[in-house]
Amino acid sequence: MAKPTVVVLDYGSGNVHSAVKALEVAGADVELTADRTAVLEADGLLVPGVGAFDAVMTALRDARGGELIDRRLAGGRPVLGICVGMQVLFDSGVERDAPAEGLSAWPGAVTQLTADVLPHMGWNTVEAPGDSVLFDGIENERFYFVHSYAAQEWTLDSQPPYPDPKLTWARHGTRFLAAVENGPLSATQFHPEKSGAAGIRLLANWIGSLRAS
């Protein structure tokens, strides 16, 4: 059976080669590109994100990344956001009291964590729902986080026939969303590509779901 194809969106967001390598190890045929046809036709699209919310949004707009993500989601085509690639899926990000507009795939704002030490850097456990696809078999593992901002609320009301989203939480000072699984759109605040065997398993779980979709 052919491997599922995954495009890592190449829009200038830092070093993404570790994500490419991790996806390959997890079982995907991977391409790093911003080519429109490749992005739209791949079985899965991974949206990385490193740095400030506003800078990532500017780079995404320049690459027409938001349009490509919208096109995929409109067709039920899976997308996975990582770190700031998760944050930009919300309405806005507020860094240094300056709000920046996000992609508005989900309602809500990304705000600074309230904690004694920032950034939240290192390994942490998560609270995953029992029916999670991403965390199947790794519910009790630890994952690698590097961030000072996160979505700390979930306000989207699901409407039948759409299923309720699967929300995974973590805590650093305050409770925040560590991952979301919402139909074809999933995201993690942590870096699976830096999370060792557990991160590879999570990516493999996502890649496995591409076959079903």
Amino acid at position 55, single letter: A
Structural contact between residues 203 and 26, judged by C-beta atoms closer than 8 angstroms: yes
Residue 106, SS3? strand
pLDDT of residue 159: 73
Domain that holds residue 139: 5-212
**d(Cα 121, Cα 111) in Å, to the nearest integer?**
16
Q: List the catalytic residues.
A: 83, 191, 193
CATH number assigned to the domain comprising residue 148: 3.40.50.880
CA 27 to chain CA centroid, nearest Å = 18
pLDDT of residue 13: 80
Residues ≥6 apart with Cβ < 8 Å to 20: 8, 30, 32
pTM of the model as a whole = 0.96
**d(Cα 28, Cα 182) in Å, to the nearest integer?**
21
pLDDT in tens, the chain (213 residues): 789 999 999 998 877 999 999 999 999 999 999 999 999 999 999 999 999 999 999 999 999 999 999 999 999 999 999 999 999 999 999 988 789 999 999 999 999 999 999 999 999 999 999 999 999 999 999 999 999 999 999 999 887 777 899 999 999 999 999 999 999 999 999 999 999 999 999 999 999 999 876
Number of domains in the chain: 1
* Beta-bridge mates of residue 123: 144
**d(Cα 119, Cα 47) in Å, to the nearest integer?**
22
Structural contact between residues 107 and 156, judged by C-beta atoms closer than 8 angstroms: yes
**d(Cα 211, Cα 65) in Å, to the nearest integer?**
24
